[in-house]
Amino acid sequence: MLRLTKRSEYGLMALAFLAAQEPGVYTSVREIVSRLGTPRRLLAEVLKALSQAKVVEATRGPGGGYRMRTPAEELSLSRVIAILEGPVNVARCASEDGCDFQEICTIQEGIAQVADRIKRVLDGYTLADIVRAGSGAAPVLDQLSDPASHQDRSVA
Amino acid sequence: MLRLTKRSEYGLMALAFLAAQEPGVYTSVREIVSRLGTPRRLLAEVLKALSQAKVVEATRGPGGGYRMRTPAEELSLSRVIAILEGPVNVARCASEDGCDFQEICTIQEGIAQVADRIKRVLDGYTLADIVRAGSGAAPVLDQLSDPASHQDRSVA
DNA sequence: GTTATTTAGCACTCATACAGTGCTCTTTCA
DNA sequence: TGAAAGAGCACTGTATGAGTGCTAAATAAC
Ligand code: SF4
Ligand code: SF4
């Protein structure tokens, strides 16, 4: 359906929250959930995955919890998605499970291009960008990836 | 999983095939399937949907089938996807079913931006572009939607 | 060192969307 | 009149997504 999963969204919300905390301090799942209102256990699963991927780090016991490990400016959206729901493959032939039509498929190249462009968008957005957008500082990016611009080039 | 459904892919393959036929002639599902190797009934469903959406037109009876109705140059990828699997909504809060977190969500704006950019990519690609890419005419679009370019603007 | 707190690990269940199929009806041409 | 082809309807199986329960291991405080 070409939609982000809740795992990704919960993960991003939690990361945005963690990134806004005082650097170095640990925040427990309990507290994060009390702010976000997400299902407790599910967010725990998500944070565990992010921890294993070294995006955040954890400490157990009283006063324990999670804190950022990768700077928000260096954490791309595609990275988060890849951790939480697997690698982004708009075209199934690019994924490991492949596609039965690869031999005869005439749209393969075209779809691959589209997939690549979408991948670039996801690669280009960092957690910092996501957070910043919510703070009113709406960046101007409308002249980028103009809907029609690539046609002008390719037809020539 | 952020992936195109088979409906969309089958649809695009069929459209690419139809667009390559002699203008005006009708091609039956039977014949299309014999070339593409897709499940017969499923492709029929897909083409029916495309027909109802006025993208292709159909004639029944012997010698009947489908032919293009919307020119390949005017048929965007997002249009095809919308017909075959519903409107593209990378962020669920933008869709009709909404999201429970909209009130407190800090990533809403950021995600909306990402979703918008992805939507633009899909809007910008036409069936003609998809077909053309397979014909060796690989357009240069690498300097578009540069992964880092929007950061430079937004930080300033 | 016992206890409370908190993450780690494991293994499920339930809901939804995707993929694919069967059968009948209507239209159309020979 | 009969064969060909799309239109309509309703259904089944499978995969993925969403969410939960329980136990073990680590850590800090008492
Ligand atoms: S592009 Fe062609 S080959 Fe690649 S997944 Fe889609 S259908 Fe299969
Ligand atoms: S962005 Fe925030 S509000 Fe929109 S869908 Fe994702 S979580 Fe819900």
Q: Which tens digits make up the pLDDT trace of B24-59?
A: 999 999 999 999 999 999 999 999 999 999 999 999
Q: Could you report the per-residue pLDDT of A109-146, keeping only the tens digit for each?
A: 999 999 999 999 999 999 999 999 987 665 544 434 44
Closest by CA to B81, choosing from B125, B42, B40, is B125
Q: Rounded to whole angstroms, what are the CA distances from B96 to A125, B88, B93?
A: 25, 11, 8
Confidence of residue B98 (pLDDT cuts 50, 70, 90): confident
Ligand 1 pocket, A105 CB below 6 A?
yes
Tokens (6 digits) for A11 = 């993960």
> What pLDDT does A137 receive?
61
Looking at A90-104, B102-116, B136-150, which range is the least confident one? B136-150
pLDDT range class, residue A53, cuts 50, 70, 90: very high
pLDDT at B156 over 70: no
pLDDT level of residue A96 (50, 70, 90 thresholds): confident
Indicate the pLDDT class of residue B1, thresholds 50, 70 and 90. confident
How many whole angstroms separate alpha carbon A72 and alpha carbon A118? 21
Q: Which of B121, B152, B153 to mutate to test the interface with A (most CBs of A within 10 A)?
A: B121
Longest alpha-carbon distance in chain A: 65
Q: Among A85, A100, A144, whose Cβ lies nearest the Cβ of B149?
A: A144
Res. B96 pLDDT band, cuts 50 70 90 = confident
CA distance A22 to B86: 42
The Å distance, Cα A97 to ligand 1 centre, comes to: 11
- Residue for token digits 């697997």? A86
Task: Assign B137 a pLDDT band (cuts: 50, 70, 90).
Answer: low
Question: For the whole prediction, is pTM greater than 0.85?
Answer: yes
Q: Which of A125, A129, A3, A85 is nearest to B106 (CA)?
A: A129
CA distance B76 to B59: 24
Question: CB of A57 within 8 A of CB of A95?
Answer: no
The response to whether residue B90 sits with its C-beta less than 6 Å from ligand 2 reads no
Q: Cα torsion for A84, A125, A54, A11, to the nearest 10°?
A: -40
Enumerate the domain spans of chain A. Answer: 6-141
Distance of CA A67 to the CA centre of its chain: 18
Q: How far apart are CA A18 and CA A12, in angstroms?
A: 10
Ligand minimally distant from the alpha carbon of residue B105:
2
Q: Does domain A6-141 have CATH number 1.10.3720.10?
A: no
Smallest CA-to-CA distance from A117 within B140, B98, B87 is with B140
The share of chain B scoring above pLDDT 70, in percent, equals 87
Average pLDDT of chain A?
Answer: 89
Residue A56 Cα, gap to closest chain B Cα (Å): 18
pLDDT(B153) > 90: no
What pLDDT, in 10s, does the model give residues A26-52? 999 999 999 999 999 999 999 999 999
Closest nucleotide to B52, Cα to C1' = D7
Report the residue from A4, A111, A141 with minimal CB separation from B91: A4
* Amino acid B38 CA to nucleotide D5 C1' distance, rounded Å: 18
pLDDT at B151: 43
- Rounded CA-CA distance A103/A110 in Å is 15
Q: How far is CA A46 from CA A6, A11, A54, B34, B113, in A?
A: 10, 6, 13, 45, 23
The CA A143 to ligand 1 mean position distance, Å, reads: 30
- Between CA A15 and CA A72 the distance in angstroms is 8
Residue of B56, B52, B129 lying closest to A117 (CA atoms): B129
